[in-house]
Amino acid sequence: MKKILILSVFLFLGLTFKAFSQTVYTSPKGEKYHTADCRLSGEASPVKLADAKKAGKGACDICKPNELGKAKLNQCSSKTADGTRCKRMTANKNKKCFQHQPK
Ligand SMILES: [Zn+2]
Ligand SMILES: [Zn+2]
């Protein structure tokens, strides 16, 4: 339990730093920019968000790097109707995607 707490403090600090000058990842061939942990970032190299935009790149639909750099995406913690875990990513605090928000 303690470990999780420490981890989240580091995570918070990391995100705070990120917010000052967000780095995104993009490859010369790609039309999108990604966060570091996006599975599509592949051979992408780090660039400043502003530079990626200048180059005409758009935000990835999967990792959704946003300009504030503070939204940490989590996999939705809900289960779908067939009993498997929902695969949607969400930045919501309760870790539930828009479809699984409590009514
Ligand atoms: Zn991506
Ligand atoms: Zn969901």
Could you give the 3-state DSSP secondary structure of residue 22?
Answer: coil
Please indicate, yes or no, whether residues 102 and 62 belong to a single structural domain of this protein. Answer: no
Rounded distance from Cα 1 to ligand 1 centre (Å): 31
- Which residue is associated with the tokens 């490859």? 27
Give the DSSP H or E segment for 88. none
**Shortest-distance ligand to the CA of residue 100:** 2
Look at strands 89-90 and 74-75 and give their pairing. Answer: antiparallel
Please indicate, yes or no, whether residues 52 and 84 belong to a single structural domain of this protein. Answer: no
What is d(CA 15, CA 9) in angstroms, rounded to the nearest whole number?
A: 10
Counted domains in the chain = 2
Rounded distance from Cα 56 to ligand 2 centre (Å): 31
Rounded distance from Cα 2 to ligand 1 centre (Å): 31
Q: Report pLDDT digits (tens) over 7-18.
A: 776 666 665 554
Q: Report pLDDT digits (tens) over 79-96.
A: 998 999 999 888 888 989
What is the domain range of residue 65?
Answer: 2-69
**Shortest-distance ligand to the CA of residue 58:** 1
Report the predicted TM-score, pTM, of the whole model to 2 decimal places: 0.46
Average pLDDT, the chain: 81
Please indicate, yes or no, whether residues 46 and 95 belong to a single structural domain of this protein. Answer: no
Please indicate, yes or no, whether residues 84 and 64 belong to a single structural domain of this protein. Answer: no
